[in-house]
Amino acid sequence: MSDPEMGWVPEPPTMTLGASRVELRVSCHGLLDRDTLTKPHPCVLLKLYSDEQWVEVERTEVLRSCSSPVFSRVLALEYFFEEKQPLQFHVFDAEDGATSPRNDT
């Protein structure tokens, strides 16, 4: 039954037992302009260290021509208390359709 009038309520997304959902909001201030002609088009890539490798978890939207972005997309992940969960935040210039950080951006 999927009728709201019959008392059915959709279930939240499934989570691993013992985990809590954490939502991260990201902003940056004063990103460098490496290109003198245009401002950066920043994007943030969130990676989590799992099974001896860095795995992409989430990424923000690309904000055009902005050196102090406040991203509206919320980065969500499962958090386990008392367990080490290393995170990396890669801020890169998504100019020219780049989908991942390069060494020069």
**Three-state DSSP class for 79?**
strand
At 67, list the tokens.
Answer: 């050196």
- Whether residue 95 has pLDDT greater than 70: yes
pLDDT > 90: what percent of the chain? 53
- Whether residue 47 has pLDDT greater than 70: yes
Where does the pLDDT of residue 1 fall: very low under 50, low under 70, confident under 90, or very high at 90 and above?
A: very low
Determine if the pTM surpasses 0.95.
no
> In whole numbers, what is the pLDDT of the chain averaged over residues?
83
Mean pLDDT of 68-94: 93
Of 32, 31, 61, residue with least CA distance to 44:
61
